[in-house]
């Protein structure tokens, strides 16, 4: 099976097509035919593996949304005893467990399909809890829901009466409202249940055992008949108090522990699961700025873009004095004022650079992926400093740069780069390109990506590289 190159020891060069065609090097699960993602539908493959491994699970809601193209968020209920094996399967499939501090009982997993360019987020729970902003009100329905789940290929879903009840609780206690799509689904489920005597009786028992007297069967029937689900919101506070009184000590403990973990999230991220820093390098015309902006918009990466150059218009993070100085320097008429502003501008640039370093560390400690657009390595391939003043200036500007966890070099022939932008000359661009390529010997964390292909293909390839590095780093913990 093709594997990702180990860039922790040597730099590598991969074309975008090779990256998209190569699945991640997944950990073995001890069996032949181990789960791995090829070019197929990752979600469908995961459901097949869960069936093969006899994992007891059910989709909580949103079945109709699964067939829609684009990124997906899937809510699953899983038997508590099967959660460790589910975690192993998802990690073998290329998914990473995301931090869930302060979000109990949720377990989050994220995977990426580079061929489709789509993200899959799985929100897994082993028990049903509700509440806003903290899920601290438990309803003992999980075991019954899994016992009565129904096969709806390629997966298992809740029985209609279970989906109806859990959706009502979700809208009431978690969202404090019924959006249109949820109202339509509740009405359809109620009509389906009304036509099945066994389902209706089971739902009535659930309502009597878990919701009454705050919310009764006649109230639900009336809401369905009049399509006035918002009327149920009047029972929201009473129902929350009723569920609290059933387990006051446990509910209080969940509430306090969740709020504490949320306050400690920054510290936990910094100590246990920090983010990743990525430096983008490229000769002129390789599409670096376009790629950087696309990574910032990406749903799964949630990248923090940090422009490190001197273009004020392109700046993403900087000091408020920079724009003011830029305006003063442009408006300066006298040579004396321009001469005075030069050292002030240099000092401001140094301070802004260190401010950006601090900001990058802060975002990484928050667990974010920080993408640097422009980096000190660009200066390594620039024209060398010749005078003492130039060397001192460059040495000062090179101070304090963090070492990135990953370096992506977008590579393309000089002739192609010239055709794209029409700047400089093919020979000059080829010389610049070779200068970047020579950095591979000094930067073992560099991955060279063939950038002669369409921008979308390159973007998906780079996203796959970044995600695989992040996933592997935290899979070891």
Residues 6+ apart with CB under 8 A from 345: 325, 329
Residue 38 has pLDDT above 50, yes or no: no
The single residue listed with the structure tokens 């000092």 is 347
Distance set, CA 438 to CA 373, 434, 441, 448 (Å): 20, 6, 6, 11
Report the pLDDT value the prediction gives residue 477, as an integer from 0 to 100.
56
| pLDDT tens per residue across span 345-385 | 889 999 999 999 999 999 999 999 999 998 989 888 877 66
- pTM attached to this predicted model: 0.85
The ranges assigned to domains in the chain are 41-266, 274-318+361-475
Taking CA 128 as the corner, what is the angle to CA 126 and CA 132, rounded to the nearest 5 degrees? Answer: 125
Nearest by Cα to 407 from 303, 282, 316: 282
Nearest by Cα to 471 from 2, 209, 119, 11: 119
Q: How many CB atoms lie within 10 A of CB 304?
A: 22
Residue pair 77/145 in contact (Cβ under 8 Å)? The answer is yes
Q: Give helix 180-194 / helix 197-206 axis angle, nearest 10°.
A: 120
Kindly state the tokens that stand for 298. Answer: 């990406």
- Please give the span between the terminal C-alpha atoms of the chain, in angstroms, as a whole number: 25
Residue pair 64/218 in contact (Cβ under 8 Å)? The answer is no
Query: Which secondary structure element, helix H or strand E, spans residue 464, and what is its range?
Result: helix 455-475
DSSP characters for 73-139?
Answer: EEEEEE-GGGHHHHHHHHHHTT-EEEP-TT-TTEEEEEEEETTTTEEEEEEEESS-EE-SSS--EE-
Query: Which secondary structure element, helix H or strand E, spans residue 59, and what is its range?
Result: strand 57-61
| pLDDT tens per residue across span 103-129 | 999 999 999 998 888 999 999 999 999
Distance CA 314, CA 46 (A): 41
User: Does domain 274-318+361-475 sit in CATH 3.20.20.70?
Assistant: no
| Torsion over CA: 291, 296, 302, 306 (sign) | positive
User: What number of H helices and E strands is found in the chain?
Assistant: 19, 15
Residue pair 139/246 in contact (Cβ under 8 Å)? The answer is no
Residue 51 has pLDDT above 80, yes or no: yes
Report the pLDDT value the prediction gives residue 203, as an integer from 0 to 100.
96
Residue pair 360/321 in contact (Cβ under 8 Å)? The answer is no
| pLDDT tens per residue across span 399-437 | 889 999 999 999 999 999 998 887 889 999 999 999 999
| pLDDT tens per residue across span 239-276 | 999 999 999 999 999 999 999 999 999 999 999 999 99
Mean pLDDT of 84-104: 94
Report the pLDDT value the prediction gives residue 100, as an integer from 0 to 100.
94
| β-sheet bridge partners, residue 108 | 98, 123
Report the pLDDT value the prediction gives residue 396, as an integer from 0 to 100.
81
Report the pLDDT value the prediction gives residue 138, as an integer from 0 to 100.
96
Assign 14 a pLDDT band (cuts: 50, 70, 90).
Answer: low
Kindly state the tokens that stand for 448. Answer: 């060279």
Nearest by Cα to 122 from 50, 15, 218, 223: 50
């Amino acid at each position: 099976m093709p594997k990702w190159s180990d860039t922790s020891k040597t730099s590598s060069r991969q074309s975008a097509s090779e990256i998209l065609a190569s699945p991640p090097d997944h950990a073995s699960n001890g069996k032949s035919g181990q789960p791995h993602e090829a070019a197929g539908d990752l979600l469908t493959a995961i459901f097949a593996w869960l069936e093969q491994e006899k994992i007891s699970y059910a989709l909580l809601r949103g079945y109709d949304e699964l067939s829609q193209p684009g990124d997906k968020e899937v809510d699953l209920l899983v038997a508590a005893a099967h959660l460790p094996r589910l975690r192993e399967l998802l990690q073998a499939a290329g998914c990473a467990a995301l931090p869930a501090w302060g979000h109990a009982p949720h377990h989050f997993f994220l995977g990426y399909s580079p061929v489709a360019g789509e993200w899959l987020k799985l929100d897994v729970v082993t028990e049903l809890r509700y509440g806003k902003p903290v899920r601290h009100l438990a309803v003992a329905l999980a075991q019954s829901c899994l016992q009565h789940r129904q096969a709806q290929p390629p997966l298992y879903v809740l029985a209609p009466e279970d989906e109806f009840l859990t959706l009502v609780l979700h809208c009431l206690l978690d969202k404090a409202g019924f959006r249109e799509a949820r109202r339509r689904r509740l009405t359809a489920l109620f009509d389906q249940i009304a036509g099945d005597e066994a389902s209706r009786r089971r739902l009535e028992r659930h309502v009597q055992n878990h919701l009454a007297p705050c919310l009764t069967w006649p109230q639900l029937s009336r809401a369905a008949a009049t399509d006035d689900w918002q009327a149920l919101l009047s029972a929201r506070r009473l129902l929350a108090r009723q569920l609290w009184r059933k387990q006051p000590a446990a509910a209080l403990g969940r509430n306090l522990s969740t709020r504490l973990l949320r306050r400690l999230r920054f510290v936990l991220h910094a100590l246990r699961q920090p983010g990743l820093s990525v430096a983008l390098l490229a000769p002129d015309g390789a599409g670096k700025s376009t790629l950087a902006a696309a990574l910032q918009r990406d749903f799964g990466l949630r990248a923090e873009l940090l422009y490190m150059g001197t273009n004020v218009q392109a700046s993403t993070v900087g000091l408020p004095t920079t724009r003011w100085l830029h305006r003063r320097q442009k408006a300066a008429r006298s040579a004396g004022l321009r001469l005075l502003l030069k050292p002030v501008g240099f000092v401001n640039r140094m301070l802004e650079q260190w401010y950006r370093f601090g900001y990058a560390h802060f975002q990484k400690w928050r667990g974010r992926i920080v993408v640097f657009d422009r980096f000190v390595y660009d200066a390594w391939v620039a024209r060398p400093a010749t005078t003492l003043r130039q060397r001192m200036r460059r040495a000062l500007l090179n101070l304090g740069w963090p070492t990135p966890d990953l370096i992506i070099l977008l590579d393309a022939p000089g002739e192609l780069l010239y055709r794209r932008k029409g700047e400089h000359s093919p020979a000059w661009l080829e010389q610049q390109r070779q200068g970047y390529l020579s950095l591979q010997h000094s930067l073992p964390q560099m991955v060279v990506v063939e950038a002669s292909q369409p921008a979308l293909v390159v973007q998906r390839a780079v996203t796959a590289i970044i995600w695989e590095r992040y996933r592997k780093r935290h899979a070891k913990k």
